[in-house]
């Protein structure tokens, strides 16, 4: 059984709960196993989908009105759904990745993030393109959430991050045991 003092004496990259440990685990279980782009697609999808839901609910509830507004072409004009930005992002990302085939890690990571973000913007309005009408706040709008859950599950399976999350779970257990046995 490790004590807090024993854990604190470990090098930072082997000490559970430190940013250096997370960086080490990310590099070992994601970068070295060539899963980085899949991880970025998944992470950017989840973050973007969550932010979009927060923003749209805030707009509807008239919260944070100085920050969040509906995009439109003018007073009473055409409303631009975030689906449009998602489609444009998917088209740009597809063209760049297929037309230029980037080999640098940073470029591939940016394209993976663009893909995950654009997919989230598109899937959040899945019900719109399924029903061909704006049902975001109607009962059918739930179809978008269902589609996002399925997309997240499929992205998670593609990421295959089991080893990373297993190690993070073990680190959490080590910390828990050390804290609960302070005695």
Query: The whole model's pTM is what?
Result: 0.77
CA 91 to chain centroid, in Å, comes to 19
Cα separation, 30 vs 22, whole angstroms:
11
Q: How far is CA 65 from CA 37, 52, 62, 117, in A?
A: 35, 15, 6, 23
DSSP β-bridge partners for residue 72: 79
For residue 134, how many other CB atoms are within 10 A of its CB?
A: 13
Does residue 27 have a pLDDT over 90? yes
pLDDT greater than 80 at residue 182 = no
Two tokens at 175? Answer: 């910390």
What is the per-residue pLDDT for 70?
Answer: 63
- Angle of the 142-159 helix axis to the 105-123 helix axis, nearest 10: 150
Distance CA 124, CA 68 (A): 17
Query: 94-152: per-residue pLDDT in tens?
Result: 999 988 888 999 999 999 999 999 999 999 988 888 787 787 788 888 888 888 888 88
Q: How far is CA 40 from the centre of its chain?
A: 7
Q: Helix 162-180 crosses helix 19-26 at what angle (to 10 degrees)?
A: 150
Q: What integer pLDDT is reported at residue 183 of this predicted model? A: 47
Model confidence pLDDT, tens digit, residues 54-101: 988 888 888 877 776 666 555 666 777 888 999 999 999 999 998 888
**Every domain of the chain and the residues it spans:** 37-67+81-164
Q: Give the tens place of pLDDT for each residue, 108-118.
A: 999 999 999 99
């Amino acid at each position: 059984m490790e004590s807090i003092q024993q854990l604190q004496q470990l090098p930072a990259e082997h000490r559970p709960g430190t940013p250096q440990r997370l960086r080490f685990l990310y590099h070992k279980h994601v970068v070295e196993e060539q899963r980085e782009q899949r991880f970025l697609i998944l992470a950017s999808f989840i973050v973007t989908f969550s932010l979009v839901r927060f923003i749209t609910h805030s707009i509807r509830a008239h919260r944070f009105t100085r920050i969040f507004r509906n995009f439109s072409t003018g007073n009473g004009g055409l409303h631009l759904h975030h689906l449009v930005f998602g489609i444009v992002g998917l088209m740009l990302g597809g063209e760049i990745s297929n037309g230029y085939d980037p080999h640098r890690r940073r470029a591939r990571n940016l394209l993976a993030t663009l893909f995950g973000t654009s997919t989230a913007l598109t899937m959040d309005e899945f019900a719109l393109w399924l029903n061909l009408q704006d049902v975001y706040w109607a009962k059918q709008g739930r179809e978008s959430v269902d589609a996002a859950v399925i997309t997240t599950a499929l992205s998670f399976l593609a990421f295959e991050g089991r080893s990373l999350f297993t190690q993070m779970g073990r680190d959490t257990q080590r910390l828990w045991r050390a804290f609960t046995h302070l005695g």
